[in-house]
């Protein structure tokens, strides 16, 4: 399979979600699974109309079906195809879609996370984003590039307990951090932690960082990311607002939960380091930090130890990273940042050395 978007110098291959999904739709079982899932969220309970929508989706070639499921399905598209005409078609104020667009799809970190050599297809808190996870699950289950990946995932998209990938940080081959946030539930963390610690992947502990349950602290990686083996970006002051819990295997099949009190000491102990370094957003200046945090200055994407991708507009934070010896690769992102997410949010690493 030929895929665009290689970075030969860095040894990176980019897999495009749209391309993978289109290839899944060339497989009849994959296409049928997705159409069945999509029909459960269309804006009608009319069986005749649902039948028309099903026929319309099944008639679409793979590329057009992908485009329709990502960009949304309008009433005007379906009804000329043979669906029953509805009054809402003629009323201009009526909502135009039977199936909503999914504009947050480019935040791929949220709905998919690779931990060790297994994938977690995450259960999104917002109903508006659950189709993203459902489509990823179809890719994992049906695409030949992911053959076998869906046999034993950490988590499946339709599980009840909520977990989102912006709260999952793999710090080392032995340590995973999961943020307990407005988007990730304690129940989801417990279930994922048990699976990780009972697995043969070599993880020995899960650190839980509870952050304030507000939109300003949407996910852990909006206020805290790893940029080198011992170096972390951090939104100033958040270290005093995080509650820390160390999870290991306890007696029987349960968890042993130990509260911790100091973020720096906890990380140093878990990583076996004499200490860790902070790179505060906005160089620690309160107003600058707030301004650059609005532009996701803390949400860096580490492509190698000590090498990160950031938004160009966060100049103070980027300069601070360079002073700490971090190589910074800047991207413009003037439109991407409007979605309230940074480079880490927009990536889902699958295989890393």
- Residues carrying an active site annotation: 345
Helix, strand or coil for residue 311? strand
Indicate the length of the chain as a whole number: 353
Report how far apart the first and last C-alpha atoms of the chain are (Å, whole number): 22
H helix or E strand, kind and range, residue 70: helix 62-71
Contacts of 202 (CB under 8 A, 6+ apart): 116, 173, 174
Q: How many CB atoms sit inside 10 A of residue 335's CB?
A: 7
Answer for the pair 236, 286: CB distance below 8 angstroms, yes or no. Answer: yes
* Count of other CB atoms within 10 angstroms of residue 80: 10
Taking only Cα atoms into account, the Rg of the chain, rounded to an integer number of angstroms, comes to 22
The number of beta carbons lying within 10 Å of the beta carbon of residue 37 is 18
Residues 6+ positions from 180 with CB-CB distance below 8 Å:
167, 186, 189, 208, 209, 210, 211
The number of C-alpha atoms within 13 Å of 332 and in the hemisphere containing its C-beta is: 2
DSSP result, 88-111 = HHH-TTS--EEE---GGGG-HHHH
């Amino acid at each position: 399979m030929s895929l665009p978007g290689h970075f030969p110098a860095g040894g990176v291959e980019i897999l495009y979600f749209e391309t993978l999904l289109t290839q899944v739709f060339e497989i009849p079982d994959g296409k049928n699974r997705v159409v069945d899932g999509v029909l459960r969220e269309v804006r009608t309970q009319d069986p005749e109309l649902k039948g028309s929508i099903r026929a319309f989706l099944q008639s679409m070639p793979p590329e057009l079906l992908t485009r329709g499921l990502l960009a949304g399905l309008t009433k005007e598209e379906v009804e000329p195809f043979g669906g029953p005409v509805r009054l809402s078609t003629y009323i201009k104020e009526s909502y135009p879609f039977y199936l909503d667009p999914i504009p947050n799809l480019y935040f791929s970190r949220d709905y998919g996370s690779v931990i060790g050599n297994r994938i977690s297809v995450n259960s999104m808190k917002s109903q508006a984003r659950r189709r993203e996870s459902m489509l990823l699950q179809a890719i994992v289950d049906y695409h030949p590039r992911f053959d076998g990946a869906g046999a034993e995932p950490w988590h499946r998209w339709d599980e009840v307990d909520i977990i989102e990938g912006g709260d999952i940080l793999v710090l080392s081959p032995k340590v995973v951090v999961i943020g307990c946030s407005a988007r990730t539930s304690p129940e989801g963390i417990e279930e994922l932690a048990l699976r990780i610690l009972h697995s043969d992947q070599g993880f020995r502990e899960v650190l839980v960082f509870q952050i304030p349950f507000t939109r300003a602290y949407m996910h852990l990686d909006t206020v805290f990311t790893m940029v080198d083996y011992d170096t972390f970006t951090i939104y100033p002051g958040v270290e005093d607002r995080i509650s820390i819990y160390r999870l290991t295997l306890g007696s029987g099949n349960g968890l042993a939960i130990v509260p911790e009190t100091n973020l720096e000491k906890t990380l140093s102990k878990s990583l076996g380091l004499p200490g860790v370094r902070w790179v505060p957003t906005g160089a620690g200046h309160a107003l600058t930090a707030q301004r650059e945090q609005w532009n996701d200055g803390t949400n860096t994407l580490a492509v190698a130890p000590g090498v990160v991708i950031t938004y160009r507009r966060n100049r103070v934070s980027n300069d601070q990273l360079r002073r700490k010896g971090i190589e910074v690769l800047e991207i413009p992102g003037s439109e991407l940042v409007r979605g309230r997410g940074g480079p880490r949010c927009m990536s889902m690493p699958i295989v890393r050395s």
